[in-house]
Structure 1
């Protein structure tokens, strides 16, 4: 058996099945052209060789790891350029993983762990992204013009040990010293200490023969940790096992995208497949706060998924639900089921977050940690009144005295000052808005920024640039970053769709929110129905706007004025008058001028039409 050291590049097309289903012939032609015109020439130019082609991907071998990484960057930049000339639904996005290791040589093919790790890293990468192993990052960090961001130790399929993973950063925003600090044991300990509950240490279970995920801090300090146990196949059809496994993996992947929670890797939770054990014991072994478990049954074309959330500390069943889905496409069904469960459990309005609010108010003030201060203030902020907003600000100021480098508390304090402005309670609007922006920028510049703080920080900057700085392009850039950080959170999706409307991208807003339009929200401004209704109002489709706004929570300062204006523009004067009367009764300060301030738009013509419709409905000028 011949072995050799090689750099392996693995690449695959994101959403290949959906692209083929939509346009099989066109997709095939574009992929063939991309391989012939971009991939093969670039790989050859960087002294590499493709040794395996799949329908949606390839594996290539390089003698130099520098050549492999430079080639990957050239490929992603080349794809970006090619996509810029194509419609959205024809664009091809690729993920790339690179590893340096020994491979087994068998003719023209290559096998072994060196190949497997590259393939697993590629699966973890974001669309358009490049992930590399720690070996690759250490080898090339001083030889290339871009940086590497640590993504932590990753447990990947069929690997006994975790793989240190890094994301290639092309904009130079990640300092190289981070990689250097992580190399030494002392640097790693400092890093783990700074992260608190964010980074996990891996501890081998005696006699068990598999790795357990252990967080660096207790499960109740910081964001909760969730383990998803393998969904049981109750269909009686062993061939249906793949669907249960796929649905489990999709759910874990979706939940892992939420900055509000930590999710235990599937390689750890898979160890419990088919085992009847006390949930509390599983929780202790995995150091999990909550366990998601369930089953899948199939009858004809109908798939029933039963899911439940269990408090792993007490064994209490917090929530249970079943979903009946029909369809012939198992991948689509997996995605639909996972998205539904994800929307219920995670995110700003998820069941887990609501339970956390209740739990944190039951704790003594002297025992509050950084995350507890965040939760206490955040719940008050969502009450949307002056008194509770000022209380939230005081809580976060108190927390910052105890945790002065907390990016999470700085970002949330910024939202407190922002809400003083938005609610009309600020004594100095420019001062409070500027103070809020400074807090966010300081928070995002801290040595460690949690995923939650990063998401909220960029969400704030999107609105700051939309409403205050009037830099609409920057608002859209910040919105894109926010969606990449929390792509499955309905709250984030709705809020960033709001930014898109104000920045003149109404069709993009509709595309964002339409997939979640059936989800309900307790916050009017994050309600998918309100956001969609406002989008159609901006487009001049007043009948559709009224239909959607009728489904949104009735709120005097947002949905009711737009609903009344939609009625007025549709010739329903009586309904318009009644709706405005209801809004003014609840919120006497409501006016055309205030609505213009609350809902800005870069297009003056849109604002003029909005003003005219509000006046027509009977709203006073202000």
Structure 2
């Protein structure tokens, strides 16, 4: 590196593959990109900076037209680690720029020189950085679009640095000369290789955004109308299809319905479906309907096979709702798109004649180019709903299409254009019109559910949507199950209260924060965390007793207090409100397990897993505990291993394995699991852990478990 390179606040050193950032009194970092794949991503950062310098401004750089050049980088400096069997090169770069490069704390793509990773609360090793330092680094990685159409920006302007204060060095040169020499060296090295040497490169696993765990969303006022429309139409169509005669019937399409047949789509490309428009004279805001007969052509894509399904098809019509694609070109709208999807899933799960896969499993496919056939076979469902969302200011367009995976055909498709400010007046009218058009017969309870208002009664207009999206952020950080994320969750929850002080969302958000602070023992006292959490949950239910997530929160908090009758009553209420909810069923199972009724708990854990086939680390962790308590040790080991597959650093799953192996007399495996526990948390002690087990009614069983852990070598 040249002697004058460090005068710049940001220096990208392509000699040693290091990035230096030094902002006085704010942050000082040296990051070493110390492997072929890591060098590739530093080269991508340098490429973006060089392109911005060439344009003379800090701007987004499209990758698609530079594909050949990026392929050269990948094949030379990157050792072909920039692409994989499941993701092409540009998709891979997009995913890393979005999720891995901004992650300063875990640093999956670089080593932080001068800092040492440390253990914290059994969560695993992370670099100790302040929130300010993490925010400064993360804010550098801006993007627009996604996958092949992504545009990247190294947003130095967001931290007060100009292009002139950012330097690229290679050899003794800087900036454009350094970049040209760097590229020339790669081309020259490539030509000098007379015989390519085949090298086995183990690519880093793709970074997948962690799926939120543990909460069931409730009505999103800002686009509740769309969710209601989709729910009504989907419910009617799948129920009609299930119970209609199997013999061929003459096709008569009424005015209210249109049959649509289109090629099957993947998640990366959403083609706007045929628009359904209403002819009602007095309701110009509603879409018109066009009568039309269509003879469906043979499917263009391979259809799903019943024999290849991971799970047998349920007796009820089964649906998976894939994450709706963000068509806005603005990454800030991802939360909005996700919330649209979540609300549709939440509402569909309340229809008793449907079997709906939980959001944890369907969001596993977010951002991946999957086919409907794959989703159907992996999740064990017949119908797949997919779509897209485009939001610009107060205007929104939503497309949705329902596919029968066993035939490969689209059986319904629709597109809606609306103004967000009109939604409150139109949502019930649109819902009732759609339900009438498709002749849905709902129970009184389902009608009440569709008609009920939630937090939109307490906030108005854009404030409601902002409040809900903030709430989603709280839940995302809550599911991190570590101290830093819990602190962020508390900060955002307090912002929600300030924004919507009369909304049940605000108090539910802070209630879940208190619950996590109890589990992590980071509140003022464990007892205060419980009492504050109960207070918030009860306040939510005073406003709206129909929110299943609040009953689930109370269920856990009462178990922590050993008030098992109250806990089970709240869990039963949550399941009654959300019978198709994976988390509601899991919370009920946990309440039974804590109360000493583990045999009864197991079927509810199994139902939660069937509703969420991909599953969360928490479901398998608690399921393993119930299996262990009932003496089903082999099954318990399997469940704990599945928990660790989803989160390798889940220390409680390692604890479960250590104790179960010890009870089985498999001392070698027990001690290996104990070593993992101490690797994750060298300060782990049985005295502290036994306090966590205090919520179990059968303390004799817990004493046996503690003894087994002691036998495994833990103290």
Structure number with larger C-alpha Rg: 2
Structure 1 length normalisation: TM-score?
0.47
Structure 2 length normalisation: TM-score?
0.41
Which one has the bigger strand percentage? 1
